[in-house]
Protein backbone atom coordinates (compact mmCIF):
# COMPACT_ATOMS: atom_id res chain seq x y z
CA UNK A 1 0.00 0.00 0.00
CA UNK A 2 1.14 3.55 -0.63
CA UNK A 3 0.44 6.26 1.98
CA UNK A 4 -2.99 7.28 0.71
CA UNK A 5 -4.05 3.62 0.48
CA UNK A 6 -2.79 3.06 4.03
CA UNK A 7 -4.81 5.97 5.38
CA UNK A 8 -7.88 4.72 3.53
CA UNK A 9 -7.36 1.24 5.00
CA UNK A 10 -7.17 2.76 8.49
CA UNK A 11 -10.29 4.84 7.90
CA UNK A 12 -12.22 1.75 6.83
CA UNK A 13 -11.58 0.25 10.26
CA UNK A 14 -13.61 3.07 11.78
CA UNK A 15 -13.25 5.29 14.83
CA UNK A 16 -10.73 3.71 17.17
CA UNK A 17 -12.93 4.22 20.24
CA UNK A 18 -16.37 3.49 18.80
CA UNK A 19 -15.08 0.41 16.95
CA UNK A 20 -12.90 -0.76 19.82
CA UNK A 21 -12.92 -4.44 20.83
CA UNK A 22 -10.86 -4.76 24.00
CA UNK A 23 -8.80 -7.91 24.30
CA UNK A 24 -5.28 -9.21 23.83
CA UNK A 25 -5.81 -12.32 21.70
CA UNK A 26 -5.69 -10.63 18.30
CA UNK A 27 -2.55 -8.60 19.04
CA UNK A 28 -0.87 -11.62 20.62
CA UNK A 29 -1.70 -13.84 17.61
CA UNK A 30 -0.34 -11.22 15.22
CA UNK A 31 2.91 -10.84 17.12
CA UNK A 32 3.39 -14.59 17.45
CA UNK A 33 3.03 -14.88 13.67
CA UNK A 34 5.74 -12.22 13.30
CA UNK A 35 8.15 -13.80 15.77
CA UNK A 36 7.20 -11.72 18.83
CA UNK A 37 9.16 -8.57 17.95
CA UNK A 38 7.89 -6.83 21.12
CA UNK A 39 10.10 -9.16 23.19
CA UNK A 40 13.36 -8.07 21.50
CA UNK A 41 13.84 -4.91 23.59
CA UNK A 42 13.09 -3.80 27.17
CA UNK A 43 10.25 -1.36 27.74
CA UNK A 44 8.47 0.94 30.17
CA UNK A 45 4.67 0.60 30.26
CA UNK A 46 2.56 3.59 31.36
CA UNK A 47 -1.15 3.67 32.22
CA UNK A 48 -3.32 6.26 33.95
CA UNK A 49 -6.20 8.67 33.43
CA UNK A 50 -4.20 11.89 33.02
CA UNK A 51 -0.50 12.53 32.58
CA UNK A 52 0.57 9.27 30.98
CA UNK A 53 1.58 10.96 27.72
CA UNK A 54 3.67 13.55 29.56
CA UNK A 55 5.35 10.88 31.69
CA UNK A 56 6.04 8.81 28.56
CA UNK A 57 7.58 11.84 26.83
CA UNK A 58 9.75 12.63 29.87
CA UNK A 59 10.97 9.03 30.19
CA UNK A 60 11.83 8.88 26.49
CA UNK A 61 13.66 12.22 26.61
CA UNK A 62 15.76 11.14 29.60
CA UNK A 63 16.68 7.84 27.95
CA UNK A 64 17.53 9.56 24.66
CA UNK A 65 19.72 12.13 26.41
CA UNK A 66 21.51 9.18 28.02
CA UNK A 67 22.59 8.12 24.54
CA UNK A 68 20.11 5.27 24.07
CA UNK A 69 18.17 4.60 20.88
CA UNK A 70 14.58 4.99 22.03
CA UNK A 71 11.17 3.98 20.80
CA UNK A 72 8.06 5.92 21.87
CA UNK A 73 4.48 4.84 21.23
CA UNK A 74 1.67 7.22 22.24
CA UNK A 75 -1.95 7.97 21.39
CA UNK A 76 -3.92 9.66 20.05
CA UNK A 77 -2.04 11.66 17.45
CA UNK A 78 -2.70 15.36 16.93
CA UNK A 79 -2.11 15.99 13.22
CA UNK A 80 -0.55 12.91 11.58
CA UNK A 81 -0.94 9.28 12.56
CA UNK A 82 2.84 8.81 12.18
CA UNK A 83 3.32 10.94 15.34
CA UNK A 84 2.38 7.90 17.43
CA UNK A 85 5.49 5.92 16.52
CA UNK A 86 8.86 7.60 17.15
CA UNK A 87 12.43 6.36 17.12
CA UNK A 88 15.17 8.51 18.66
CA UNK A 89 12.68 11.36 18.94
CA UNK A 90 11.68 11.32 15.26
CA UNK A 91 8.29 10.18 14.04
CA UNK A 92 8.16 7.34 11.55
CA UNK A 93 8.10 8.48 7.92
CA UNK A 94 4.96 8.15 5.80
CA UNK A 95 6.71 5.63 3.53
CA UNK A 96 7.95 3.55 6.44
CA UNK A 97 4.53 3.60 8.11
CA UNK A 98 2.87 2.41 4.91
CA UNK A 99 5.41 -0.42 4.64
CA UNK A 100 4.71 -1.51 8.22
CA UNK A 101 0.94 -1.37 7.73
CA UNK A 102 1.22 -3.39 4.54
CA UNK A 103 3.16 -6.15 6.33
CA UNK A 104 0.64 -6.19 9.16
CA UNK A 105 -2.28 -6.30 6.72
CA UNK A 106 -0.87 -9.34 4.92
CA UNK A 107 -0.44 -11.26 8.17
CA UNK A 108 -3.89 -10.14 9.30
CA UNK A 109 -5.43 -11.49 6.08
CA UNK A 110 -3.69 -14.86 6.49
CA UNK A 111 -4.79 -15.20 10.12
CA UNK A 112 -8.36 -14.26 9.24
CA UNK A 113 -8.37 -16.86 6.49
CA UNK A 114 -7.23 -19.66 8.78
CA UNK A 115 -9.57 -18.36 11.52
CA UNK A 116 -6.79 -17.62 14.01
CA UNK A 117 -8.30 -14.13 14.29
CA UNK A 118 -11.97 -13.84 15.22
CA UNK A 119 -12.31 -10.47 13.44
CA UNK A 120 -10.12 -7.87 11.72
CA UNK A 121 -7.75 -5.83 13.83
CA UNK A 122 -9.09 -2.60 15.27
CA UNK A 123 -7.38 0.66 14.35
CA UNK A 124 -5.51 0.77 17.64
CA UNK A 125 -4.48 -2.87 17.41
CA UNK A 126 -3.05 -2.34 13.94
CA UNK A 127 -1.11 0.76 15.03
CA UNK A 128 0.22 -1.06 18.09
CA UNK A 129 1.42 -3.95 15.91
CA UNK A 130 3.16 -1.44 13.64
CA UNK A 131 4.97 0.06 16.64
CA UNK A 132 6.08 -3.33 17.98
CA UNK A 133 7.42 -4.32 14.57
CA UNK A 134 9.09 -0.99 13.79
CA UNK A 135 10.99 -0.85 17.08
CA UNK A 136 12.37 -4.35 16.51
CA UNK A 137 13.36 -3.51 12.93
CA UNK A 138 15.13 -0.35 14.13
CA UNK A 139 17.01 -2.33 16.81
CA UNK A 140 16.19 0.18 19.51
CA UNK A 141 17.70 -0.06 23.00
CA UNK A 142 14.44 0.54 24.92
CA UNK A 143 10.81 1.46 24.23
CA UNK A 144 8.27 3.52 26.14
CA UNK A 145 4.63 2.48 25.61
CA UNK A 146 1.62 4.57 26.60
CA UNK A 147 -1.55 2.54 27.17
CA UNK A 148 -4.35 3.48 24.80
CA UNK A 149 -7.36 2.86 27.05
CA UNK A 150 -7.56 1.09 30.39
CA UNK A 151 -4.70 -1.36 30.70
CA UNK A 152 -5.64 -4.97 31.35
CA UNK A 153 -7.22 -5.51 27.91
CA UNK A 154 -5.33 -2.80 26.02
CA UNK A 155 -3.42 -4.01 22.96
CA UNK A 156 -0.11 -2.79 24.44
CA UNK A 157 -0.47 -5.17 27.38
CA UNK A 158 1.18 -8.15 25.70
CA UNK A 159 4.62 -6.69 26.50
CA UNK A 160 6.80 -7.81 29.40
CA UNK A 161 8.06 -4.44 30.64
CA UNK A 162 11.04 -3.65 32.82
CA UNK A 163 8.97 -1.08 34.74
CA UNK A 164 5.26 -0.28 35.02
CA UNK A 165 3.90 3.19 35.80
CA UNK A 166 0.37 4.20 36.80
CA UNK A 167 0.15 7.97 36.76
CA UNK A 168 -3.12 8.40 38.62
CA UNK A 169 -6.76 7.39 38.31
CA UNK A 170 -9.94 9.44 38.00
CA UNK A 171 -13.28 9.02 36.26
CA UNK A 172 -13.03 8.79 32.47
CA UNK A 173 -14.16 6.35 29.77
CA UNK A 174 -16.74 4.93 32.21
CA UNK A 175 -18.67 3.31 29.34
CA UNK A 176 -15.68 1.04 28.72
CA UNK A 177 -13.83 0.76 32.04
CA UNK A 178 -16.59 0.87 34.66
CA UNK A 179 -18.58 3.44 36.58
CA UNK A 180 -16.50 3.57 39.75
CA UNK A 181 -12.93 4.51 40.58
CA UNK A 182 -12.40 1.01 41.95
CA UNK A 183 -13.41 -0.65 38.68
CA UNK A 184 -11.38 1.77 36.57
CA UNK A 185 -8.38 1.22 38.84
CA UNK A 186 -8.75 -2.53 38.39
CA UNK A 187 -8.49 -2.13 34.62
CA UNK A 188 -5.45 0.14 34.79
CA UNK A 189 -3.72 -1.99 37.43
CA UNK A 190 -3.98 -4.84 34.92
CA UNK A 191 -0.63 -3.77 33.46
CA UNK A 192 1.15 -4.79 36.68
CA UNK A 193 3.26 -7.89 36.01
CA UNK A 194 4.72 -10.60 38.24
CA UNK A 195 7.79 -9.29 40.05
CA UNK A 196 8.07 -6.10 37.94
CA UNK A 197 8.54 -2.76 39.72
CA UNK A 198 5.53 -0.44 39.78
CA UNK A 199 5.67 3.33 40.22
CA UNK A 200 2.30 4.76 41.25
CA UNK A 201 1.06 8.33 41.27
CA UNK A 202 -2.39 7.43 42.61
CA UNK A 203 -3.54 9.76 45.37
CA UNK A 204 -7.20 8.87 45.92
CA UNK A 205 -7.76 6.14 48.55
CA UNK A 206 -9.82 3.69 46.46
CA UNK A 207 -7.46 3.51 43.44
CA UNK A 208 -4.43 3.38 45.76
CA UNK A 209 -5.86 0.30 47.49
CA UNK A 210 -6.53 -1.43 44.17
CA UNK A 211 -2.99 -0.78 42.90
CA UNK A 212 -1.46 -1.79 46.24
CA UNK A 213 -3.44 -5.04 46.37
CA UNK A 214 -2.66 -5.97 42.76
CA UNK A 215 1.05 -5.30 43.25
CA UNK A 216 1.04 -7.40 46.40
CA UNK A 217 -0.83 -10.22 44.65
CA UNK A 218 1.81 -10.58 41.93
CA UNK A 219 4.82 -9.76 44.16
CA UNK A 220 5.57 -6.55 42.26
CA UNK A 221 7.70 -4.02 44.20
CA UNK A 222 5.61 -0.87 44.59
CA UNK A 223 6.79 2.70 45.04
CA UNK A 224 4.19 5.45 45.56
CA UNK A 225 5.07 9.07 44.87
CA UNK A 226 2.92 10.22 47.80
CA UNK A 227 4.83 7.98 50.23
CA UNK A 228 8.29 7.43 48.78
CA UNK A 229 9.13 10.78 47.19
CA UNK A 230 9.10 14.43 48.19
CA UNK A 231 8.80 17.48 45.93
CA UNK A 232 10.18 20.61 47.55
CA UNK A 233 11.15 24.23 46.85
CA UNK A 234 8.91 24.84 43.84
CA UNK A 235 9.87 27.88 41.76
CA UNK A 236 7.78 29.13 38.86
CA UNK A 237 8.81 31.19 35.86
CA UNK A 238 6.33 31.86 33.04
CA UNK A 239 4.35 28.71 33.81
CA UNK A 240 7.35 26.38 34.01
CA UNK A 241 8.64 24.94 37.27
CA UNK A 242 11.93 24.11 38.94
CA UNK A 243 12.00 21.99 42.08
CA UNK A 244 13.96 19.68 44.33
CA UNK A 245 13.12 15.97 44.39
CA UNK A 246 13.92 13.30 46.93
CA UNK A 247 13.47 9.65 45.95
CA UNK A 248 14.49 6.49 47.83
CA UNK A 249 17.65 6.43 45.69
CA UNK A 250 18.93 10.01 45.81
CA UNK A 251 18.25 13.74 46.12
CA UNK A 252 17.99 15.95 43.05
CA UNK A 253 18.52 19.68 43.43
CA UNK A 254 17.01 22.29 41.15
CA UNK A 255 15.45 20.18 38.39
CA UNK A 256 14.04 22.32 35.56
CA UNK A 257 11.00 21.33 33.47
CA UNK A 258 10.31 22.37 29.90
CA UNK A 259 6.62 21.40 30.17
CA UNK A 260 4.29 23.98 31.70
CA UNK A 261 2.11 23.47 34.77
CA UNK A 262 2.76 22.68 38.41
CA UNK A 263 1.24 19.22 37.98
CA UNK A 264 4.17 18.35 35.69
CA UNK A 265 6.41 18.20 38.78
CA UNK A 266 4.38 15.16 39.87
CA UNK A 267 4.71 13.62 36.41
CA UNK A 268 8.45 14.32 36.47
CA UNK A 269 8.78 12.52 39.81
CA UNK A 270 7.05 9.49 38.26
CA UNK A 271 9.37 9.59 35.26
CA UNK A 272 12.51 9.89 37.41
CA UNK A 273 11.52 7.00 39.65
CA UNK A 274 10.64 4.86 36.63
CA UNK A 275 14.10 5.54 35.18
CA UNK A 276 15.69 4.74 38.54
CA UNK A 277 13.91 1.37 38.55
CA UNK A 278 15.57 0.29 35.29
CA UNK A 279 18.27 -2.26 36.03
CA UNK A 280 19.75 -2.74 32.56
CA UNK A 281 21.01 0.79 31.91
CA UNK A 282 23.15 3.33 33.70
CA UNK A 283 21.39 6.69 33.62
CA UNK A 284 23.32 9.59 35.12
CA UNK A 285 21.83 12.51 37.04
CA UNK A 286 22.98 14.78 34.21
CA UNK A 287 20.91 12.72 31.75
CA UNK A 288 17.85 13.12 33.94
CA UNK A 289 18.38 16.87 34.19
CA UNK A 290 18.85 17.26 30.44
CA UNK A 291 15.92 14.99 29.61
CA UNK A 292 13.45 16.86 31.83
CA UNK A 293 14.67 20.25 30.65
CA UNK A 294 14.25 19.30 26.99
CA UNK A 295 11.02 17.30 26.89
CA UNK A 296 8.54 18.39 24.23
CA UNK A 297 4.92 17.28 24.32
CA UNK A 298 2.72 19.15 21.87
CA UNK A 299 -0.87 20.11 22.65
CA UNK A 300 -0.58 20.13 26.44
CA UNK A 301 -0.37 23.67 27.87
CA UNK A 302 1.23 24.46 24.54
CA UNK A 303 1.44 28.22 23.94
CA UNK A 304 2.03 30.12 20.67
CA UNK A 305 2.31 33.80 19.76
CA UNK A 306 -0.18 33.47 16.93
CA UNK A 307 -2.70 36.10 15.78
CA UNK A 308 -3.32 36.43 19.48
CA UNK A 309 -1.56 34.64 22.28
CA UNK A 310 -2.98 31.10 22.00
CA UNK A 311 -2.76 28.13 24.37
CA UNK A 312 -3.70 24.61 23.30
CA UNK A 313 -4.47 22.00 25.94
CA UNK A 314 -6.16 18.66 25.38
CA UNK A 315 -8.02 18.60 28.72
CA UNK A 316 -10.88 16.17 28.10
CA UNK A 317 -12.14 15.23 31.57
CA UNK A 318 -13.01 17.19 34.73
CA UNK A 319 -9.63 16.58 36.38
CA UNK A 320 -7.78 17.82 33.30
CA UNK A 321 -10.07 20.85 33.03
CA UNK A 322 -9.45 21.71 36.69
CA UNK A 323 -5.69 21.50 36.14
CA UNK A 324 -6.03 23.85 33.17
CA UNK A 325 -8.13 26.25 35.26
CA UNK A 326 -5.54 26.19 38.05
CA UNK A 327 -2.81 26.96 35.54
CA UNK A 328 -4.71 29.95 34.11
CA UNK A 329 -5.59 31.32 37.53
CA UNK A 330 -2.02 30.82 38.73
CA UNK A 331 -0.81 32.73 35.69
CA UNK A 332 -3.19 35.59 36.54
CA UNK A 333 -4.93 35.40 33.16
CA UNK A 334 -7.78 37.93 33.38
CA UNK A 335 -9.12 37.63 29.84
CA UNK A 336 -9.61 34.09 28.55
CA UNK A 337 -11.47 33.25 25.35
CA UNK A 338 -12.25 29.55 25.07
CA UNK A 339 -12.54 27.57 21.86
CA UNK A 340 -14.29 24.44 23.08
CA UNK A 341 -15.25 21.15 21.45
CA UNK A 342 -15.78 17.79 23.10
CA UNK A 343 -16.81 14.21 22.35
CA UNK A 344 -20.27 13.32 23.56
CA UNK A 345 -19.28 10.37 25.78
CA UNK A 346 -17.24 12.60 28.11
CA UNK A 347 -18.43 14.23 31.35
CA UNK A 348 -19.34 17.45 29.57
CA UNK A 349 -21.04 18.99 32.60
CA UNK A 350 -18.00 18.34 34.76
CA UNK A 351 -15.55 19.72 32.21
CA UNK A 352 -17.64 22.83 31.60
CA UNK A 353 -18.22 23.45 35.30
CA UNK A 354 -14.46 23.45 35.83
CA UNK A 355 -13.34 25.70 33.00
CA UNK A 356 -16.29 27.85 31.84
CA UNK A 357 -16.47 30.10 34.95
CA UNK A 358 -13.13 31.76 34.16
CA UNK A 359 -13.94 32.40 30.47
CA UNK A 360 -14.58 35.85 29.07
CA UNK A 361 -16.15 34.25 26.01
CA UNK A 362 -16.86 30.64 25.01
CA UNK A 363 -16.78 29.61 21.35
CA UNK A 364 -18.43 26.22 20.91
CA UNK A 365 -17.66 24.07 17.89
CA UNK A 366 -18.36 20.54 16.66
CA UNK A 367 -15.40 18.23 16.08
CA UNK A 368 -14.55 16.50 12.81
CA UNK A 369 -15.23 13.22 14.56
CA UNK A 370 -18.20 10.87 14.64
CA UNK A 371 -18.22 11.07 18.44
CA UNK A 372 -18.55 14.86 18.49
CA UNK A 373 -21.00 16.47 20.89
CA UNK A 374 -23.51 18.92 19.44
CA UNK A 375 -22.48 22.47 20.48
CA UNK A 376 -26.13 23.37 21.07
CA UNK A 377 -26.43 20.49 23.54
CA UNK A 378 -23.23 21.59 25.28
CA UNK A 379 -24.70 25.09 25.61
CA UNK A 380 -27.96 23.69 27.00
CA UNK A 381 -26.03 21.90 29.76
CA UNK A 382 -24.50 25.21 30.91
CA UNK A 383 -27.32 27.73 30.67
CA UNK A 384 -25.83 30.21 33.11
CA UNK A 385 -22.96 30.80 30.68
CA UNK A 386 -25.20 31.38 27.62
CA UNK A 387 -24.54 35.15 27.52
CA UNK A 388 -20.83 34.39 26.99
CA UNK A 389 -21.37 31.66 24.40
CA UNK A 390 -21.29 31.60 20.63
CA UNK A 391 -22.03 28.51 18.56
CA UNK A 392 -19.99 28.03 15.39
CA UNK A 393 -20.39 25.71 12.43
CA UNK A 394 -16.73 24.64 12.38
CA UNK A 395 -13.45 24.73 14.24
CA UNK A 396 -11.55 27.35 12.18
CA UNK A 397 -14.53 29.70 12.39
CA UNK A 398 -14.59 29.33 16.18
CA UNK A 399 -10.86 30.04 16.45
CA UNK A 400 -10.98 33.12 14.22
CA UNK A 401 -13.93 34.44 16.21
CA UNK A 402 -12.05 33.98 19.49
CA UNK A 403 -8.98 35.71 18.04
CA UNK A 404 -11.18 38.63 16.93
CA UNK A 405 -12.73 39.08 20.38
CA UNK A 406 -9.44 38.74 22.24
CA UNK A 407 -7.56 41.91 23.13
CA UNK A 408 -3.80 42.28 22.79
CA UNK A 409 -3.37 41.33 26.45
CA UNK A 410 -5.84 38.43 26.43
CA UNK A 411 -5.43 34.70 25.82
CA UNK A 412 -7.26 32.29 23.52
CA UNK A 413 -7.45 28.75 24.91
CA UNK A 414 -8.29 25.77 22.67
CA UNK A 415 -9.47 22.86 24.82
CA UNK A 416 -12.00 20.09 25.45
CA UNK A 417 -10.50 17.42 23.23
CA UNK A 418 -7.18 16.40 21.71
CA UNK A 419 -9.09 16.00 18.44
CA UNK A 420 -9.87 19.74 18.54
CA UNK A 421 -6.27 20.59 19.44
CA UNK A 422 -4.97 18.44 16.58
CA UNK A 423 -7.28 20.05 14.03
CA UNK A 424 -6.44 23.64 15.04
CA UNK A 425 -2.73 23.24 15.81
CA UNK A 426 -1.64 23.67 12.14
CA UNK A 427 -3.78 26.81 11.84
CA UNK A 428 -2.34 28.27 15.03
CA UNK A 429 1.21 27.54 13.85
CA UNK A 430 0.52 28.93 10.38
CA UNK A 431 -0.50 32.26 11.92
CA UNK A 432 2.56 32.58 14.13
CA UNK A 433 4.41 34.32 11.30
CA UNK A 434 1.63 36.91 11.01
CA UNK A 435 1.33 37.56 14.74
CA UNK A 436 1.22 41.22 15.65
Sheet holding 240-246, edge to edge: 230-237, 240-246, 251-260
Rg (CA), the chain: 21
Q: Structural domain boundaries of the chain?
A: 3-293, 302-430
Tell me if 158 sits within 8 A of 28, measured CB to CB: yes
Question: For position 23, what pLDDT does the model report?
Answer: 85
- Residues in CB range of 93: below 8 A, 6 or more apart: 82
Whole-number average pLDDT of the chain: 95
Question: What is the DSSP code string of 249-300?
Answer: S-EEEEEEEEEESTHHHHHHHHHHHHHHH-SSS---HHHHHHHHHT---TTS
Give pLDDT tens digits for 223-244: 999 999 999 999 999 899 999 9
177 band by pLDDT with thresholds 50, 70 and 90: confident
> Is 90 exceeded by the pLDDT of residue 170?
no
- Residues in CB range of 106: below 8 A, 6 or more apart: none
Counting beta carbons within 10 angstroms of the beta carbon of residue 11, is it exposed (0 to 12), middle (13 to 18) or buried (19 or more)?
A: exposed
Q: Which residues of 152-167 are buried (b: 16+ CB within 10 A; e: fewer)?
A: bbbbbbbbebbbbbbb
Do domains 3-293 and 302-430 share one topology? The answer is: no
Question: For position 173, what pLDDT does the model report?
Answer: 59
> 3-293, which class in CATH?
alpha beta
CA–CA separation, 113 vs 115, rounded Å?
Answer: 5
Question: For position 17, what pLDDT does the model report?
Answer: 64
> Is 50 exceeded by the pLDDT of residue 400?
yes
Question: What is the DSSP code string of 295-328?
Answer: ---TTSSEEEESSSEEEEE---SHHHHHHHHHHH
Whether a cis peptide bond, with omega within 30° of 0, leads into 273 is: no
175 band by pLDDT with thresholds 50, 70 and 90: low
Q: CA torsion, points 311, 317, 319, 325, in degrees to nearest 10? A: 30
Question: For position 265, what pLDDT does the model report?
Answer: 98
Question: For position 21, what pLDDT does the model report?
Answer: 78
> Is 60 exceeded by the pLDDT of residue 365?
yes
> Computed from CA positions of residues 400, 404, 405, 410, in that sequence, does the dihedral angle turn out positive or negative?
positive
pLDDT (mean) for 372-382: 97
Residues above pLDDT 70, as percent of the chain = 97
Q: How many CB atoms lie within 10 A of CB 363?
A: 27
Q: Which residues of 211-235 are buried (b: 16+ CB within 10 A; e: fewer)?
A: bbebbeeeebebbbbeebbebeeee
> Is 90 exceeded by the pLDDT of residue 18?
no
434 band by pLDDT with thresholds 50, 70 and 90: very low
CA–CA separation, 315 vs 285, rounded Å?
Answer: 32
Q: How many CB atoms lie within 10 A of CB 257?
A: 21
- The conformation of residue 93, written as its DSSP 8-state character, comes to P
CA–CA separation, 113 vs 151, rounded Å?
Answer: 29
Tell me if 414 sits within 8 A of 420, measured CB to CB: yes
> 302-430, which class in CATH?
alpha beta
Give which of 154, 166, 303, 313 is closest to 240, Cα–Cα. Answer: 303
Amino acid sequence: MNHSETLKYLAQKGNEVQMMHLGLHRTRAMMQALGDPQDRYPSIHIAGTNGKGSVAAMCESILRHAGLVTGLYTSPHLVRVEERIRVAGRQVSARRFSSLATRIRKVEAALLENKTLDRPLTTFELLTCCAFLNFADEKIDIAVFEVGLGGKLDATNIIHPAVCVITGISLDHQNYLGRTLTKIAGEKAGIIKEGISVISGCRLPAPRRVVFNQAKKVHAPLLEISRHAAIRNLRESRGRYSFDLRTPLRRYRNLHLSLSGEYQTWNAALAVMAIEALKSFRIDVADIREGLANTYWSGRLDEYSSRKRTLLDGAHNPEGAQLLRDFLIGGKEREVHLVFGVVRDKNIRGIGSAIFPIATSIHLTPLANSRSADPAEVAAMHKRFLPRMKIHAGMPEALYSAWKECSASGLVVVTGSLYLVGELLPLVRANVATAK
